[in-house]
Each structure stands twice: as structure tokens, then as C-alpha cells.
Amino acid sequence: MHGQEEMLAQIREEGLLVRMVVHPDACPVCKQFTDKVYFPDEAPSLPIQGCLRGSCRCRYGAFDPDGPSLEELLRLGIAAAKNGQKEEAQEYLFTLLRADWYHEQGWLWLSAVVDTAEERLECLQQVLVINPDNQVAQRGVELLQAKLNRGVESEGDAGEP
């Protein structure tokens, strides 16, 4: 959980609040923390004490009470992606994922605006960590792995997942 300690320190430095991000398939103990918000010094330690999984997958997310909602960040990211504004889309989607690491649609749309096939593959693999049944991500992983195995990468415009 070393990365989560760094995340907590960064959230503290930026003067933001901590939003608990719980994996969609979390145990009942961890589900109690879903979307709860804390001051950084009051956030529960990770891994969550009493987690029933072999490995707790809870994370800290950055929460700005004065910033846009997660839904608004996704909407803005999608709009920018559809308009071909890759950098702007990335900014909105990175902010969304910093607040909610397990945001399936955020990862899916980010895959459409990152710069390389390797990055697209990483995004789609994260979608499958969240939802192994996501058929769009499954197909995208298959196509990208085949492309990377052939050693061919073409840089396309931002598009829809």
C-alpha cells in the first residue's frame, strides 16, 4: 500500500479531502466505506482492518468539494474526446480516475485518448480488473495484443471506445 500512502500525502498537500474508493466486488466490511469522505488525517488506514479478501483493494481518492462531480468530469472528458481534444479529455479523465480509480467508463474513455497502443492496452486491462465481463474491453485487448504482437502500432485520432 506504499502507493496509497503517497496518494494520501499528496491529497493532504493539495488541501483536498479523501474519498474512499472501494472495488465494485469488495467484501461487506469494505463496502461500508463506499464514497465516504474524510479529512486526510482522519481517513482510515489501508488496508481496511477486517477486510475479508486476501488482499484489500480499497484506495484513496482525491475529493474537491468545490470541483466538478464525477459525472461531470466524465461528461466533459467524453465531450472533449468526441471533439478530438485529446489533451483536454485526458485531463478530465485523469482527474476523474484520481478521484475514483475503479470508474469503469472513465478507463474505457481514457483508452480512446491516450497516445500509444501500450497505454490503450493498460486502460482496457484496468477496465477488465473492474469488470471482467466488459465485452468492449475484452475485444479491445484482443485486438491490441494482436497488433502489439505483430509489432505494428498506428496512431489514430481520438475516438469513441
DSSP secondary structure of 27-47: -HHHHTTTT-EE-GGGSPPSS
- The reported pTM is 0.83
What tens digit of pLDDT does each residue of 5-34 get?
999 999 999 999 999 999 988 999 999 999
What tens digit of pLDDT does each residue of 83-137 get?
999 999 999 999 999 999 999 999 999 999 999 999 999 999 999 999 999 999 9
Pick among 3.10.180.10, 3.30.70.360, 1.10.3470.10, 1.25.40.10: CATH of 70-150: 1.25.40.10
C-alpha angle 123-129-133 in degrees, rounded to nearest 5: 100
| Boundaries of every domain in the chain | 2-63, 70-150
C-alpha cell at 154: 498506428
CA 117 to each of CA 9, 63, 86, 121, 160: distance values in angstroms, whole numbers, following the listed order: 32, 30, 15, 6, 15
- Residue 2 pLDDT > 80: no
Partners of 37 in beta bridges: 19
